[in-house]
Amino acid sequence: MKIKILIVVIWSMLVLVPPLISWQQLEIVAEQTILETLRNFDSRFQTQGSISFTFFVAISSTILTMIIGIPLAWNLGRYKWRYHIILRSIFTVPFVMPSILVAMGFLSLLDWFEVIFGDNNSQDLRIYSLLLAHAWFNLALVVRFCEPILSTIEESYEDAARLLPSGNTKLKRFGRLWGPLLLPNIIASASLVFVFSFTSFALVKFLVPAKRNLEVVMSNQAEWAGVEIPALGRAPSEIVLASSSIQLLTIILALAISSKLQSRSQGHHLSSLKDSRKEVSFFSIRGLYILMMLIFIISPLFALISSSFLVRENGVMIWSTQGWVAAFGGTHSPTNVYQSLYSSLSYAFLTVLISLPIGFVLSDSINELEKEDSKFSTILDILVMFPLALSAVMVGLGVLVGIIRTEPELARVWWIPIYGHLMLATPFVVRVLLPAMRNLNPEFEQSAALLGAGYLKRLMTIKIPILAPSIIVASSLVFAISLGEFGASWVVLRFTEYTTIPVMIGNILSRPGYDPLLRSVANAAGTVLLLMTLILFIGVERFRPVGRGGEF
Amino acid sequence: MLICKQINKSYSKTILSNFNLEVRQGEIVALLGPSGSGKSTLLKIICGLETLDSGYVYFNGKNLENIPPEKREIGMVFQKLALFPHLDVRGNLKFGLDKKSDIKEIDEILDLVGLSDYGKRKIHTLSGGEAQRVALARSLIAKPKMILLDEPLSSLDANIKEDLAIEVRSLLKKLNISAIYVTHDPKTANQLSDRIVYINAQILSDE
């Protein structure tokens, strides 16, 4: 128990101290309060239009994701397809894809668009592709939240509604039955899509380089934020302080709405855990729709892989392996694929090793507090989720400004990035393990205790073996998140020799000047990352419990 | 009056074979048979939620073949009741009304089923018997000409089941609504119905 309390206290310190120190440091350098920095935020050339652009992108992306995602969730939830598990896996794979890969996939599609239709440099086209990329990336959230409920909802609801005057047309049934039943899940998923689109970094940075959202603004100022050098002025610190405040407030509001609606949704007692889907053939209108959605999901990934073997010269695509040779040779980046892969895998392994026990203890503590009906369970849950409300770039800044600026010798320490990865990945461990722990029959442990098993024996012989599938899911998810993490690593790592693959790709794509080979090199490195993520994802899906919704 | 004539229905095996049934206006018929004998399938065929392979269903002189379920004027109470969990009792009953209906009808039907103060209750807070009454009230409020009851009492305790069976019977008689009550319990069938039809696999006999 003492160890548990210690871990909870350590986690709280880990989560709260760096952002608090960094905000204090930023306030000292800015010589202004947060409110004062907000006053002239939009008049600076570095930040002009960034607030409106951030909100425009987040709101439009959320609407587009819902328009694409709800019909997909409906067709997966209400109908049983041949190879259903494979289909569901394909439609949920985007969520575990590193955002930088999504950016590159859509950049490759834009390249193809240019080759086939002409100009691709129009700002509008790039913004549309950004919104579409957000929808692609977040589609899995809508499916994960809505599909399990749709698939296990009592079939007789539809029949009963059909026989009653208020449900005797499809429109009425949608408006009065399905709409209200699904609304909490739709809004809960929409809130999360909003948060992820609001804090989108790699996609905005590379797909619409002429525009800046708050995340890009902060990243651009990260190098000088919190540094007390009179020649630099106070601007970087002021900008980061204001941006992070707006961002934090907005995200907390959205997450609060999501959490409230999720708890309301669970109060409906909907799920019967009985599969109520009707069988349907691929040779139908619905089949055609599913095929189109498959093409939508696969095309950016296909474009990414194929473009790694293409080099563009004078507007013509030429098949070549030069990109792969350069990626593995390290001719276009400070590190080659081997070195970056080594860094990525090392950070991912270490993140799993550390975040798993921390996440396990945190989940166990929340679960026990919930059983005691203690309000501390909510407080601890909020503390666990806090890093997600910070966004990746803000976590990176917290580490950079809060730790490195105050202890400069830490800047070259290899393990510092793990800190950011831990903060971003541990909440996901809790989100996977906590529902599994809630479903664990307490009588298993109680009977083991009556048979004389102590805490450690019960943990090793009862709890961990029963929770093993969820532990495997959590480990793979953490590994994938760490492997693809870009925002925090970009802020902390980009000038060090411990460059991960996403940072290596970011470095290549950010190189000034035109080099026809650059995109191919980045795509080759991206393909390596893609393959690793896919292998992990397939591993995760095999262990995912059936009929679960509203989880990661 | 309902007439089912030479009804055949098969999935992977034959469920109903040359089945015939007549139900007169105001009559309550119990359909008695073991699980898997096609009782629920027959009800779904009558109200249009299932199609038949061959045969006819006539209701008040009309062939129901091309009439969709929502236009057949036949109500149904499902085995699991299918009360919508996101709506309270009043909301569920309102679902049975169209826009032109008088909202007072909800209070009247709640009175009729003995649940006058239950309008604002959440569905998951109702007992088995109360939920059953709400499901019946929801079907009745739509003013169907016939009501199909698919073992709605099956999950209740014996005592409650007996009382409720008597209540349901007197209510249906009071409203002069024809009904088919599906069950595998001979005692409830006796208490509730005017006539029992036995259904056993593909063999049907009228008694």
Q: What is the pLDDT of residue A271?
A: 47
B20 vs A261: which has the higher pLDDT: B20
- One-letter amino acid of B146: M
Q: What is the mean pLDDT of residues A38-61?
A: 87
Q: Output the CA–CA distances (angstroms, integers) from residue A192 to A333, A393, B12, B186, in the order listed.
A: 35, 17, 44, 54
Q: Coil, helix or strand for B189?
A: helix
Say which of A157, A165, A181 has its CB closest to residue B142: A165
Contact B76 A163 (CB under 8 A): yes
Q: What is the pLDDT of residues A451-507, one digit of tens each?
A: 777 788 888 888 888 888 889 888 988 998 898 888 888 877 666 777 899 999 988
Tokens linked to A9: 């206290």
Which residue of A lies nearest to B139 if distances are taken between CA atoms? Answer: A164
Which residue of A lies nearest to B75 if distances are taken between CA atoms? Answer: A163
Q: List CB contacts (< 8 A) between A169 and chain B.
A: 70
Which residue of A lies nearest to B149 if distances are taken between CA atoms? Answer: A160
B178 vs A513: which has the higher pLDDT: B178
Closest CA of chain A from B189, distance in Å: 23
Q: What is the pLDDT of residue B207?
A: 40
Please, which residues have CB within 8 angstroms of residue A12's CB and are 6 or more apart in sequence? A383
- Whether chain A has a CB inside 8 Å of the CB on B93: the answer is no
Q: Coil, helix or strand for A44?
A: coil
DSSP readout, A98-163? -HHHHHHHHHHHHHHHHHHHS----HHHHHHHHHHHHHHHHHHHHHHHHHHHHHHS-HHHHHHHHT
Q: What is the ipTM of this complex?
A: 0.77
Say which of B70, B81, B87 has its CB closest to residue A162: B70
Which residue of A lies nearest to B69 if distances are taken between CA atoms? Answer: A163
Q: List CB contacts (< 8 A) between B145 and chain A.
A: none
Q: Output the CA–CA distances (angstroms, integers) from residue A480 to A135, A198, A530, A534, B42, in the order listed.
A: 20, 22, 10, 9, 52
The neighbour count for residue A241, using CB atoms within 10 Å, is 29
Say which of A157, A164, A181 has its CB closest to residue B138: A164
Q: Coil, helix or strand for B60?
A: coil
Q: What is the pLDDT of residue A265?
A: 55
A92 vs B29: which has the higher pLDDT: B29
| Distance in angstroms between the alpha carbons of the first and the last residue of chain B | 19
Q: What is the pLDDT of residue A266?
A: 52
Torsion of CA A22, A23, A26, A31, to 10 degrees: -150
Q: Output the CA–CA distances (angstroms, integers) from residue B118 to A127, B33, B111, in the order listed.
A: 53, 34, 10
B91 vs A405: which has the higher pLDDT: B91
Q: What is the pLDDT of residue A541?
A: 67
Q: What is the pLDDT of residues A346-377, one digit of tens each?
A: 999 999 999 999 999 999 888 888 887 777 77
Q: List CB contacts (< 8 A) between B82 and chain A.
A: 154, 156-157, 159-160
Q: List CB contacts (< 8 A) between B47 and chain A.
A: 163
Count the residues in chain B. 207
Among A446, A454, A476, A468, which residue's Cα sits nearest to residue A539?
A476
Cα B32 vs. chain centroid, distance in angstroms? 14
Q: What is the mean pLDDT of residues B16-40?
A: 88
Q: What is the pLDDT of residue A526?
A: 92
pLDDT > 70: percent of chain B: 95
From the candidates B43, B46, B70, which should be mutated to test the interface with A, based on the most A CB atoms within 10 A?
Answer: B70
Say which of B47, B87, B97 has its CB closest to residue A163: B47
Q: What is the pLDDT of residue A325?
A: 92
Residue B206: is its pLDDT beyond 50? Answer: no
Closest CA of chain A from B140, distance in Å: 10
Q: What is the pLDDT of residue A111?
A: 84
- Which residues on chain A place their C-beta less than 8 Å from a C-beta of chain B? 154, 156-157, 159-169, 176-177, 180-181, 267-270
From the candidates A164, A183, A269, which should be mutated to test the interface with B, based on the most B CB atoms within 10 A?
Answer: A164
Query: What is the distance between the alpha carbons of residues A407 and A387, in angstroms, rounded to a whole number?
Result: 22
Contact A163 B79 (CB under 8 A): no
Q: What is the pLDDT of residues A168-190, one digit of tens each?
A: 888 888 888 888 888 888 888 89
Q: What is the mean pLDDT of residues B159-178?
A: 85
Which residue of A lies nearest to B88 if distances are taken between CA atoms? Answer: A268
- One-letter amino acid of A244: S
Average pLDDT score, chain B: 86
DSSP A408: G
Q: What is the mean pLDDT of residues A10-21?
A: 80
Diameter over CA atoms, chain A: 77
A547 vs B45: which has the higher pLDDT: B45
Residue A74: is its pLDDT beyond 60? Answer: yes
Please, which residues have CB within 8 angstroms of residue A200's CB and are 6 or more apart in sequence? A57, A61, A99, A134, A213, A215
- One-letter amino acid of A122: S
A547 vs A51: which has the higher pLDDT: A51
- One-letter amino acid of A329: G
With a CB-CB cutoff of 8 Å, which residues 143-202 of chain B face chain A?
Answer: none
Q: List CB contacts (< 8 A) between A180 and chain B.
A: 86-87
Q: Coil, helix or strand for A551?
A: coil
Say which of A156, A163, A269 has its CB closest to residue B85: A269
Q: Output the CA–CA distances (angstroms, integers) from residue B38 to A107, A230, B42, B207, in the order listed.
A: 58, 86, 6, 18
pTM above 0.90, yes or no: no
Residue A274: is its pLDDT beyond 60? Answer: no
Q: What is the pLDDT of residues B114-151, one digit of tens each?
A: 888 898 998 888 988 889 889 989 988 888 999 999 98
Q: Report residue A234's pLDDT band, with 50, 70 and 90 as the boundaries.
A: confident
Residue A550: is its pLDDT beyond 70? Answer: no
Phi first, then psi, for residue B10 (nearest 5°) are -130, 145
Q: What is the pLDDT of residues A105-157, one digit of tens each?
A: 999 898 888 877 776 668 888 999 999 999 999 998 898 888 877 877 777 88
DSSP A49: T
Residue B160: is its pLDDT beyond 80? Answer: no
Phi first, then psi, for residue B179 (nearest 5°) are -150, 150
- Whether chain A has a CB inside 8 Å of the CB on B76: the answer is yes
Q: What is the mean pLDDT of residues A209-224?
A: 84
Pure H helices in A199-224:
202-207, 214-221
Tokens linked to A70: 């709800």
Phi-psi domain of B63 (left: phi exceeds 0; alpha: psi -120 through 50; beta: other): beta
A73-77, A389-393, A484-488, B49-53, range with the lowest pLDDT: A389-393
- Whether chain A has a CB inside 8 Å of the CB on B67: the answer is no
